[in-house]
Amino acid sequence: MPEIIPNLHPVFVHFTVALFSIATALFVVLFFAPKIHPGLLPERLREQLRTVARWNLWIGAAITLVTVAAGFFAFNSVAHDAPSHAAMKLHRNWALTTLPLYLAAALWSMYGAYARKTLNRFFIGLMLITQLLLLSTAWHGGELVYRYGLGVISLPQPEGDGHAHDGGHGHGDARETGHAPDMSMEDMNMETDTTPEDHPDHAH
């Protein structure tokens, strides 16, 4: 079994975001297209898009339960310091606000399919609000990795002589900069000086 760095959360987040975003886009098209022009979407195409939108939403909701569980695992295991802990809590809070709306939209859509209801503006409103919350959640998640470096084993160090691209700009030499791509997460957690234990001022 290959080691997944830093954990499984980043594997699932993309499904959560992509499946919901496709569902939102398709439901919006299905809702507005007939209002723009009744013949814009032929009935057979509408039927197909409705099915695709629903399944994206339903599968996305199921996977999001795994995403959130993996998020809690990441929250409790990834090495962090006080500022990144605050950023993690903010990301978690956005996620826990998004989750119930995501699930509600999926259940509403299931009921709509069962009872053969047509799309209404309240459902489209819920999808759009949830989409915005989801994007904010994902953006705050990206901040954790790309701004605070959570789960990152080593960072490139551009200073100094190193290899040059054809255009001429050099980057630091990986052998001399301490860049260590073959470290494991365990090594990193041992070497970091910002483990949770070092920061008794914050608690989960």
For ligand HEM, the binding residues (CB under 6 A) are 6-7, 9-10, 13, 16-17, 64, 67-68, 71-72, 74-75, 78, 88, 91-92, 95, 98-99, 137-138, 141-142, 144-145, 150-151
**Cβ–Cβ under 8 Å, residues 53 and 27:** yes
Nearest distance from C-beta of residue 34 to ligand HEM, angstroms: 31
Nearer to ligand HEM, 30 or 150 (CB): 150
CA-to-CA dists, residue 117 to 3, 13, 66, 111, angstroms? 46, 30, 29, 8
Nearest distance from C-beta of residue 146 to ligand HEM, angstroms: 7
Nearer to ligand HEM, 99 or 105 (CB): 99
DSSP string, 80-126: --HHHHHHHHHHHHHHHHHHHHHHHHHHHHHHHHHTTPPP-HHHHHH
Nearer to ligand HEM, 26 or 138 (CB): 138
Nearest distance from C-beta of residue 116 to ligand HEM, angstroms: 30
Nearest distance from C-beta of residue 36 to ligand HEM, angstroms: 31
Alpha-carbon gap, residue 189 to 80, rounded angstroms = 9
